[in-house]
Structure 1
Amino acid sequence: MELAGKKRVNQLHELEEFRLHAYENAKLYKEKTKRWHDKHIVTRTFTQRENVLLFNSRLRLFPGKLRSKWIGPLEVVRMTQHGAIELKGKTGLTFFVNGQRVKHYFGEDSDRDQEALELNDE
């Protein structure tokens, strides 16, 4: 009986060592993935009245293989010090978004609907 008790105590100590080892491995893994993630974050700075595109994360409502995942162009009203950006839409309504969901817009300012093409039959 005494031998079985000692064996049981040793098993409990081994189990505690396995748990601590797993805890340390999880901690190292989290630190490593955090370093990798932080290294790949692209910091973007925007100025007021600049045009940007907003990533549409709710695209699943309107499925389409070739549908663009970006909405815009929208106008930057201001940037906060923590990376949030206040945007103004076409209706004049302003809203805040995370700066990681926004990218620069390099398109022209003219409307596509107003452009005209002349086709010649030759």
Structure 2
Amino acid sequence: MLKYGVTHHLSTAYHPQTSGQVEVSNRGLKRILERTIGENRASWSDKLNDALWAFRTAYKTPIECTPYKLVYEKACRLPIELEHKAYWALKHANFDLKTVGDHQKVQLNELNELRDQAYENSLIYKEKTKRIHDSKIKNRVFSVGDQVLLFNSRLKMFSGKLKSRWSGPFTIAHVFPYGTVELSQNSRPNFKVNGHIIKHYFGGDVPQMVVPDLQTFPKDK
């Protein structure tokens, strides 16, 4: 970087909530692949084109249309429909090149209006989602030297229902802007995390549960 004069800017740690559209798209593709691939999950790449086709032709609530229509301004027609001469093909087929060309020009002009409408619908959807997300966020102010606990998301992938999802405690070594926090622990190197996955630790051990002596009764004969 010094050789070519590149300035390296540090960004916040991985935070899926800031890339909602990408995460939703990836989750949709993952669900389609889970339903299409067999026991051999190594063949997922063979089904990827079909999964993308299904994803792009499905109706999306945020934009109120399909991604295919957003690009081509017309509904998707599958090759199988043409092969079997579906009713819509017999009704709407037009082999007059001049008429088809004029109709295509009108559709191209309407495409800009469709995209503007999809952008407005997506913006309204994002604002609504942001209000719901912000209403659940608790403002936490962290300072250098505070003791905090770190949320361990890896437990979601393994069976550990009775295990605590919080690890630590850690000590805050540095607080960066935009929510990034540097944590330190004894005999271990420092690391950076997002401030949304930590909480204050106020010390003290968890009190043990006191179970009184239970009176036993003789078993009925």
Q: Is the aligned partner of 1:19 residue 2:148?
A: no
Pick aligned residue for 1:57 from 137, 153, 161: 153
Give the 3 Å change call, closer, same or farther, for CA 50–10 of structure 1 in structure 2.
closer
5+ residue gaps, structure 2: 1-95, 208-221
Aligned 1:24-63 pairs, distance under 5 A:
24-60=120-156, 62-63=158-159
Q: Name whichever structure is richer in strand by fraction.
A: 1
Pick aligned residue for 2:167 from 50, 71, 89: 71
Query: Residue deviations 1:23-68, cap 9 Å, x none?
Result: 2211222233234434443221123332210001222454211111
TM-score normalised to the size of structure 1? 0.67
Equivalent position amino acid for 1:89 in 2: Q
TM-score normalised to the size of structure 2? 0.41
> How many residues end up aligned between the 2 structures?
113
The match for 1:90 is 186
Equivalent position amino acid for 2:119 in 1: Y
Give the 3 Å change call, closer, same or farther, for CA 14–101 of structure 1 in structure 2.
same
User: Which protein, 1 or 2, shows the higher relative CO under an 8 Å CA cutoff with sep ≥ 6?
Assistant: 1
Worse overlay, 92-101 or 12-21: 12-21
In 2, the alpha carbon distance for the partners of 1:46 and 1:15 equals 49
Q: Name whichever structure is richer in helix by fraction.
A: 2
- Cα RMSD over matched residues? 3.2
- Residue 93 of structure 1: SS of its match in structure 2? strand
- Residue 85 of structure 1: SS of its match in structure 2? strand
Equivalent position amino acid for 2:145 in 1: R
Percent identity over the alignment? 47
